[in-house]
Amino acid sequence: MSEATSMLAELLAAGDVVVLSGAGLSTESGIPDYRGPSGARTRHSPMTYQTFVADPAARRRYWARSHVGWRIIARASPNRGHRAVAHLQRQGLVTGIVTQNVDGLHQAGGARAVIELHGSLDQVVCLDCGDRSPREELDHRLRRANPGFDTGVTAVNPDGDVDLRDEKVEGFQVVGCRACGDGMLKPDVVFFGETVPADRVGECFALVERARVLLVLGSSLTVMSGRRFVLRAAKLGIPVAIVNQGETRGESYSSLTVDAALGEVLPETVRLLGERTASGEMSAPFTR
């Protein structure tokens, strides 16, 4: 492929790579990113935590849209980029994965011990009693409470939200927590305006500080939530490589930047690494 891909393989060959992934990694699974070519932010702004907890109408609107969006997320399949990262992890080259995504596709693609920085859409938390439950269970409850609620939406935002007209959500019925009676339920994800738990951030920093290379995949690094790990790596002299379609705010800290589709670059990088491993340590080639 390109010289940049060859350079990327060279950079990763010695291992101890920590991956930081963003929404751009999942675009080839049919989930648009926020600021890249698929541009979900051009449609509507994501729900904020403050609005969610303070405004019942906004909360109903969110759950109606998210109820539809969750079905699309749950049907999404990992793409070649996700599977390539899992392959590199199995080969011992990737020693840690931090994702800003909430779609669970890293794990579906075979990755293990993934730190989900912003949580996961497949879990629900009660803001009153703290009970956590599977999203699938809530999905069944919402289906029963809203029979016939079908909008025909086929596109979803990275946070599981979709666009619906107001008249579609006016009669949507929200359900409360089963554990405490009627507590306020929220997806177990970090909304805009909400803080990532400190212990989770500390775990991510510890991974980055032990890395030989920080590999950023599919993130514009626009928000500090992810960019802070690039800043920490740069401060410690740890090389940063970025693969992303479009500009990022991390290029000034990057040793190597590849502007290309991850579903093309990552499998090709795996292939090159396999070719360069004469000892056979990478005996299992990456396949579709």
208 and 173, same structural domain? no
Task: Tell which of 168, 189, 210 closes a domain.
Answer: 189
Give the pLDDT of residue 196.
95
Q: Is the pLDDT of residue 37 over 80?
A: no
Dist CA 259 CA 26 (whole Å)? 16
Distances (CA, A) of 184 to 49, 136, 170: 13, 17, 19
Residues 157 and 21 in one domain: no
pLDDT at residue 11 in the model: 96
Buried b (16+ CB within 10 A) or exposed e, 83-120: bbbbbbbebebbbbbbbbbbbbbbbebebeebbbbbbb
**Is 162 inside any structural domain?**
yes
pLDDT at 287 over 50: no
Q: What is the CATH number of the domain that holds 137?
A: 3.30.1600
Burial of 137 (0-12, 13-18, 19+ CB in 10 A): exposed
**Strand ranges for 179-233 from DSSP E:** 185-189, 213-217
- Where does the pLDDT of residue 267 fall: very low under 50, low under 70, confident under 90, or very high at 90 and above? very high
Give yes or no: residues 157 and 16 share one domain.
no
pLDDT of 288: 41
- Of the pLDDT bands very low, low, confident and very high (cuts 50, 70, 90), residue 152 is low
Instruction: Judge if 152 and 215 occupy the same domain.
Output: no
Do 98 and 4 share a structural domain? Answer: yes
Count of the separate structural domains present in the chain:
2
Residue 36, pLDDT above cutoff 80: no
CB 269 within 8 A of CB 19: no
Q: What residue numbers bound the domain in which 47 lies?
A: 41-75+120-189
CATH of the domain at 234: 3.40.50.1220
CA distances from 189 to 70, 118, 141 (A): 13, 5, 20
Residues 60-89 pLDDT 10s: 989 998 888 888 888 899 999 999 999 999
- More confidently predicted of 281 and 267: 267
Residue of 131, 116, 158, 153 whose CA lies nearest to 26: 158
| pLDDT band at residue 275 using 50, 70 and 90 as cut-offs | confident
| Mean of pLDDT values over 260-279 | 87
Query: Cα Rg for the chain, rounded, in angstroms?
Result: 20
Q: Are 229 and 144 in a shared domain?
A: no
What pLDDT does 42 receive? 43
The pLDDT assigned to 149 comes to 80
Query: Is there a domain that residue 169 lies in?
Result: yes
* pLDDT tens for each residue of 102-144: 999 999 999 999 999 999 999 999 999 999 999 999 999 999 9
Residue 193 has pLDDT above 60, yes or no: yes
Phi-psi region of 199 (alpha: psi -120 to 50; beta: other; left: phi over 0): alpha
Whether 68 maps to a domain, the answer reads yes
Does the pLDDT of residue 157 top 80, yes or no? no
Query: Which residues are annotated as part of the binding site?
Result: 126, 129, 177, 180
- Position 18 pLDDT exceeds 80: yes
Q: 133 with 251, same domain?
A: no
State mean pLDDT over 157-165.
60
Q: Where a domain ends, among 141, 162, 189?
A: 189
Residue 248 has pLDDT above 70, yes or no: yes
pLDDT exceeds cutoff 70 at 41: no
Name the pTM for this structure. 0.89
Q: Is there a single domain that holds both residue 137 and residue 201? A: no
Annotation says 44 is catalytic = no
**Known binding-site positions for Zn(2+):** 126, 129, 177, 180
Total count of residues recorded for the chain: 288
3-state secondary structure at position 73: helix
d(C-alpha 285, C-alpha 275), whole Å: 9
Q: State the DSSP string of 118-168.
A: TEEEEEEEETTT--EEEHHHHHHHHHHHSTT---------TTS-----HHH
Same domain, 11 and 149: no
What whole-number percentage of the chain has pLDDT above 70? 85
pLDDT given at position 171: 84
Kindly state whether residues 279 and 235 are assigned to the same domain: yes
CA distance 100 to 174: 27
Rounded to whole angstroms, what are the CA distances from 240 to 49, 169, 226, 254?
32, 44, 13, 5
Cβ pair 127, 185 in contact under 8 A:
yes
Q: Answer yes or no: is 36 within a domain.
A: no
